[in-house]
Amino acid sequence: MPLKTPEQYEESLRQLKLKVYLQGELVKSPVDHPIIRPSMNSVKMTYALAQDPQYEDLMTATSHLTGKKINRFCHLHQSVDDLIKKVKMQRLLGQKTAACFQRCVGMDAINAVDSVTFEMDQKLGTKYHERFLKFLRRMQDEDWTVDGAMTDPKGDRSLPPHKQADPDLYVHVAEKRSDGIVIRGAKAHQTGAVNSHWILVMPTMTMGKDDADYAVCFAAPADAEGIFYIYGRQSCDTRKLEGGDIDVGNKQFGGHEALMVFDNVFIPWENVFMCGEYEFSGALVERFAGYHRQSYGGCKVGVGDVLIGAAALAAEYNGAAKASHIKDKLIEMIHLNETLYACGIACSAEGYKTASGTYLIDLLLANVCKQNVTRFPYEIARLAEDIAGGLMVTMPSEQDLRHPEIGKVVEKYLRGVASVPTEYRMRVLRLIENLTLGTAAVGYRTESMHGAGSPQAQRIMISRQSNLEHKKELAKAIAGIPTGCAAQKEVAATK
């Protein structure tokens, strides 16, 4: 079954025995819970579009392992074209859901783990890459949604993992056995965890020798014994419990994050891809982060397309579409959004083949992409709020609009352009609210800041990748200052 249908995906989730807590209660059926369901619908769209011949080129790929047609989210990038299609696919899904569709993390994780395990085996003589490819074949054959898990709670940031007051603040190997390892700890901010079949865990940062037990990478079923989830709150999330759809803003789609806890979870050796090889932890973190920062040049742009469209509609419904300052603000929003897309395409176009054969993006440009993502969506959201007007956050509820007595009052006084029903105006304003302040803001505005690493993390990588010494040599050559060996001879002659 290389390509699951949307219905098969939903049914496969129902077969899982996930332990999920939401607002202090154990959820009986995550798939059917009104707060969780929209996020499942977003993942479901990744399966639906893969079945549509119109989107086959973007949504599917040919497995280099089996030759079968598979979902692109299960694919290892085999060319620059694959890297570019990934970004285009993500923009498409952002446009279709206006939310986080959650499978990017697993796709970025498998591509990073592939090249790093290959190089690890080459240097150390381990068998991790062989194990990983067996897992990948199963992932492709079953069309699994895999959650890539990297971020640990971290506790006291001034201390390394082995010096934390509580060792479980970083995921670590608690016990090594002849048949596998036992894991304790937690992963925070886990996008799409509750909608996943498997979890692919990676170290959260570069580890040193004293932190070898924390340099661990493995795969586990999402419902493995000892794993449980605490569902994250989102702004306005309880609106989904009210039964209406206008006030939700985006009733059908959404995203989610969760705290994923590992309470003495057993992992057989066949699913372990790093265990103590701390010298390779940095490469794994760097490559995963690079791939994921590339992703934001696609998914955030697609959601941005929806937000720009909503702002333009709000201007029309307000009767302000012809105002020059409104036109200028929309142009600025488009300019910022397309700049993000250009960065995502650029780091893909400059990609290159790693030793394993999998293609890696240009890490410098990927970090530039994400650095822009930490800024531009905030400005796009600000401009959308500006165009929408104050009614976006002072508007009465859908219940008021539907009320037999005051509904006519709401209808009368909240109308903008006479030819546009008040309900349409309310719907588009709630959509903008959802994208900038509500549940979707988690996957658009706030995630743009902290997802795939904080802004400072990208600046560190930009510094490392920028080759400043080369730029200085270029300036010397143009200015007539001796470079290289000539410079050394000239300095020696002056002494």
Quick check: is 292 catalytic?
A: yes
Annotated catalytic residue, options 257, 277, 286, 433: 257
Quick check: is 332 catalytic?
A: no
Annotated catalytic residue, options 60, 191, 204, 436: 191
Quick check: is 100 catalytic?
A: yes
Contact between residue 304 and residue 337 where contact means Cβ atoms under 8 Å apart = yes
| CA distances, 110 to each of 12, 107, 139, 196, 381 (Å) | 21, 5, 10, 14, 32
Paired tokens of 232? 């994250």
In this structure, what DSSP letter does residue 446 have? I
In this structure, what DSSP letter does residue 472 have? H
Annotated catalytic residue, options 10, 277, 433, 447: 447
- Distance between CA 414 and CA 424 in Å, rounded? 11
Residues, the chain, total? 495
Quick check: is 299 catalytic?
A: yes
Annotated catalytic residue, options 47, 74, 75, 100: 100
- Distance between CA 281 and CA 274 in Å, rounded? 9
- Distance between CA 214 and CA 204 in Å, rounded? 9
Task: For residue 358, say whether it is annotated as part of any ligand binding site.
Answer: no
| CA distances, 275 to each of 124, 181, 409 (Å) | 12, 9, 66
Quick check: is 191 catalytic?
A: yes
> 319-342 in b/e burial notation, b at 16+ Cβ within 10 A?
ebbeeeebeebbeebeebbeebbe
Quick check: is 104 catalytic?
A: yes
Determine the residue type at 261. Answer: V
258 forms beta bridges with 231
| CA distances, 171 to each of 70, 161, 214, 446 (Å) | 32, 9, 6, 25
- Distance between CA 197 and CA 253 in Å, rounded? 19
Annotated catalytic residue, options 33, 189, 197, 292: 292
Longest dimension (CA), the chain: 94
Contact between residue 160 and residue 208 where contact means Cβ atoms under 8 Å apart = yes
- Distance between CA 372 and CA 339 in Å, rounded? 8
Annotated catalytic residue, options 74, 217, 275, 299: 299
- When computed from its CA atoms, the radius of gyration of the chain, rounded to whole angstroms, is 25
In this structure, what DSSP letter does residue 363 have? H
Phi, psi of 259 (to 5 degrees): -90, 120
Sign, Cα dihedral of 90, 96, 99, 101: negative
What is the set of active-site residues?
100, 104, 191, 257, 292, 296, 299, 447
Positions at the binding site: 191
Positions at the binding site for FAD: 191
